[in-house]
Amino acid sequence: MATLISGKDISQKVIDEVKAGVAELHHQHDVRPGLAVVLVGDDPASQVYVRNKIKRAAEVGMASFEHRLPADTSQTVLNALIDKLNADPKVHGILVQLPLPKHLDEGHVINAIDPAKDVDGFHPLNVGALASGENALVPCTPLGCMIMLKEAVPDLSGKHAVVIGRSNIVGKPMAALLLQANCTVTVVHSRTRDIQQLCKQADIVVAAIGRPEFIGAEWIKPGAVVIDVGINAIEADGKRRLVGDVDFAAVEPIASAISPVPGGVGPMTIACLMQNTLTAARKSLQV
């Protein structure tokens, strides 16, 4: 039986710390950290994520500024909003929910965000800082995964970590963080040969491929620690439910520790967004 790495419980600790930090900033500097969230279009999953982010911001005592734009918003209009948020002293963090509608250029939008307010950690300046081990705003999902991993494996040094997936949002920054924690890191993806054999060598597996219950028992070395980043909605027995990229029932008896879906990485991502917004607010005051 594997230990359950509960993102629900661990995220609550992060949230409590952030809440205390927000109160302190307000008390000592009369500043309330502020998060702007921009949603373009009406993607149902994005709507849920944005709602949850706004809800959490209120819970920790932050100000939040929600900007919902129609799906046919032009690049010019979106850029003008980003410029306005960059210049607004009440806004310490800016998050543009991805994916954007096809006609908009994500790279262009990410580049337009002030790196000091880039609480997603997607701006090239933050990506570069993370890659070279400098102080950076770190993408929320991999940051959350690292906090969970450190609970399960206090000393990561020398461990072989396999990251499944190479996205800019999860896989690549995850690999950078694990490397910084002195892991030996392998990144595998859709073009990797012998992917299962490589995964089976891992002490730590981080699965971020977006395929429901794809990782089965035959991928996992006995005693490995498994972090499941996937959030996939499936229909089973006429009911809709959320599953990860890992076949939990098959892998749980083999792993030494595993994160569940739901209640795993999901709540950690939002908690880390709050932490990044607090960090950005503190940096803006140089405290």
Q: Which residues bind ligand GUN (CB under 6 A)?
A: 95-98, 120, 140-141, 169
Catalytic-residue membership of 120: yes
Beta-carbon neighbour count of residue 16 at 10 Å? 12
Residue of 120, 228, 245, 247 marked catalytic: 120
Q: Which is nearer to ligand GUN, 98 or 179 (CB)?
A: 98
Residues 13, 219: Cα–Cα separation, whole Å: 32
Q: Which is nearer to ligand GUN, 145 or 251 (CB)?
A: 145
DSSP category for residue 178: H
Q: Which is nearer to ligand GUN, 98 or 198 (CB)?
A: 98
Q: Which is nearer to ligand GUN, 204 or 208 (CB)?
A: 208
Report the nearest approach of ligand GUN to the CB of residue 26 (Å): 26
175-213: b or e for each residue (b if 16 or more CB lie within 10 Å)?
bbbbebbebbbbbbeeebeebeebbbebbbbbbbbeebb
Which position's Cβ is nearest ligand GUN?
98
Residue of 97, 159, 203, 247 marked catalytic: 97
Query: Could you tell me where the beta strands, DSSP code E, fall in the chain?
Result: 3-4, 34-40, 63-69, 93-96, 160-164, 184-188, 204-207, 225-228, 232-236, 239-243, 257-258
Report the nearest approach of ligand GUN to the CB of residue 155 (Å): 28
Report the nearest approach of ligand GUN to the CB of residue 235 (Å): 22
Catalytic-residue membership of 53: yes
Q: Which is nearer to ligand GUN, 97 or 187 (CB)?
A: 97
Report the nearest approach of ligand GUN to the CB of residue 113 (Å): 10
Report the nearest approach of ligand GUN to the CB of residue 224 (Å): 25
Catalytic-residue membership of 47: no
Cis peptide before 44 (omega within 30 of 0): no
Beta-carbon neighbour count of residue 283 at 10 Å? 14
Phi, psi of 35 (to 5 degrees): -120, 125
Torsion of the alpha carbons at 229, 126, 42 and 103, rounded to the nearest 10: -120
Query: Could you tell me where the beta strands, DSSP code E, fall in 18-144?
Result: 34-40, 63-69, 93-96
End-to-end CA distance of the chain: 45
Report the nearest approach of ligand GUN to the CB of residue 175 (Å): 16
Please, how many CA atoms are within 13 Å of residue 122, restricted to the half-sphere of its CB?
A: 22
Judged by DSSP in three states, 255 sits in coil
Q: Which is nearer to ligand GUN, 153 or 270 (CB)?
A: 270
Residues labelled catalytic:
53, 97, 120
